[in-house]
């Protein structure tokens, strides 16, 4: 009854059986388990349909390598600078000899992350591993099948590069010296190989060796294509760095020239302002001097007039008073205007105390 959906009737029947002491435990549990299993299947179908309708996103990742490992840092986001999904489900990781794949669902986002990479060279799947961090990131540690070899790229295809693939600079800088030492050792080893058998070289020079060039007992050592690719990459990086340095130097010179021109313009403006201020100050001083000279001249002219009037009034007075006033007038005129005539002897200019008092009273 429960399997057919008659739950109310089944409940009443179970209650009646319990009251009468009839055991129906096994049958009830069997029906409940069957119903639960069917519900789980239905829920799974819905969940699968939901996953199939979700958006598939290629996660952003970085890569680096050491002498014996390749590292992949995966971020569960479409870009490295975008927020990562930290609530993942249905993770599926596959590590094969030349391929790695990853799939995970972001809960509540209707988004599925999928990454599948065909590697350039072989790895050891048994020694390789995947680690999931707690901040929406994970790391592949892939052990190279052939250690002490630098991969000149990560993927098998040289052109089909994912747009969200980046260099893991932190680990690249960490293992840079280790890989450079490896390249140097390989270059030294390749240079130490015998160049050519002496007799074969002599025969080839004399035309005794038959066949195309390069055939014979002594062949020229072939250049390792990995080393050649690394050398080419290094040369390209050096050329790019030289170009960047040249451009930076040119921009620095241009900026310095602009700063110098700005400073010269400011100094010129300051000089012009200083010259204008100095000229204005000189003009003001000259104007003030002229005003003071005119004022002083007028005052002295007034004094001269007053003295002349005083002398005119004293024409009828004593001769001693007239001589004293005349002497005083001549001294003031000499002091103010100057005089080209020699002064009178001191005895003629001397005036007695009584005459001076009378002159003061008259003034």
The structural domains of the chain, ordered by start, are 7-52 (no CATH), 55-188 (2.60.40.790), 289-362 (no CATH)
Residue 340, SS3? coil
Torsion angle (degrees, nearest 10) of CA 49, 54, 56, 57: -150
- Which residues in 51-203 belong to E strands, given as ranges? 55-57, 60-65, 69-75, 88-95, 99-106, 111-118, 123-132, 137-144, 165-167
Per residue in 214-259, pLDDT tens? Answer: 444 444 445 566 667 777 778 888 888 888 888 888 888 888 888 9
Per residue in 39-55, pLDDT tens? Answer: 888 887 876 666 566 78
pLDDT exceeds cutoff 80 at 343: no
Per residue in 170-228, pLDDT tens? Answer: 999 999 999 999 988 888 877 766 555 555 555 555 554 444 444 444 444 455 666 67
The C-alpha angle 113, 114, 116, rounded to 5 degrees, equals 155
User: What would the two tokens of residue 311 be?
Assistant: 């002398």
Residue pointed to by tokens 């001191």: 346
pLDDT at 68: 95
Residue pointed to by tokens 């600079």: 169
Question: Exposure string (b/e) for 283-321, b if CB count within 10 Å is 16 or more?
Answer: eeeeeeeeeeeeeeeeeeeeeeeebeebbeebeeeeeeb
Half-sphere exposure of 113 (CA within 13 A, CB side): 30
**Single pTM value for the model:** 0.43
């Amino acid at each position: 009854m429960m399997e057919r959906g008659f739950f109310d009737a089944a409940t009443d029947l179970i209650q009646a059986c319990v009251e009468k002491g009839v055991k129906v435990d096994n049958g009830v549990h069997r029906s409940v388990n069957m119903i639960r299993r069917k519900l789980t299947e239905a829920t799974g179908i819905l969940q699968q349909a939901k996953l199939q309708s979700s958006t598939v996103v290629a996660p952003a990742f970085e890569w680096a390598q050491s002498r014996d490992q390749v590292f992949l840092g995966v971020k569960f986001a479409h870009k490295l600078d975008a927020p990562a999904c930290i609530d993942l489900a249905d993770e599926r990781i596959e590590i094969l000899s030349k391929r790695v794949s990853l799939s995970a669902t972001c809960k509540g986002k209707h988004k599925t992350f999928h990454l599948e990479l065909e590697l350039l060279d072989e790895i050891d799947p048994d020694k390789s591993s995947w680690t999931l961090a707690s901040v929406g990131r994970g790391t592949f540690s892939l052990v190279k099948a052939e250690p002490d070899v630098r991969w000149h790229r990560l993927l098998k295809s040289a052109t089909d590069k994912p747009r969200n693939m980046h260099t893991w600079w932190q680990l690249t800088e960490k293992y840079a010296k280790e890989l450079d030492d490896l390249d140097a050792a390989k270059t030294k080893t390749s240079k130490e190989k015998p160049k050519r058998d002496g007799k074969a070289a002599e025969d080839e020079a004399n035309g005794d060796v038959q066949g195309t060039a390069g055939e014979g007992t002594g062949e020229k050592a072939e250049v390792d294509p990995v080393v050649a690719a690394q050398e080419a990459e290094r040369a390209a990086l050096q050329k790019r760095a030289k170009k960047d340095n040249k451009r930076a130097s040119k921009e620095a010179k241009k900026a310095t020239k602009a700063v110098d021109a700005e400073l010269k313009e400011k100094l010129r403006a300051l000089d012009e302002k200083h010259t204008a201020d100095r000229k204005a100050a000189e003009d003001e001083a000259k104007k003030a001097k002229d005003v003071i000279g005119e004022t002083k001249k007028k005052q002295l002219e007034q004094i001269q007039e007053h003295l002349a009037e005083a002398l005119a009034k004293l024409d009828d007075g004593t001769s001693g008073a007239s001589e004293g006033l005349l002497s005083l007038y001549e001294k003031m005129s000499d002091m103010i205007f100057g005089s080209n005539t020699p002064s009178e002897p001191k005895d003629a200019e001397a005036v007695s105390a009584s005459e001076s008092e009378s002159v003061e009273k008259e003034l």
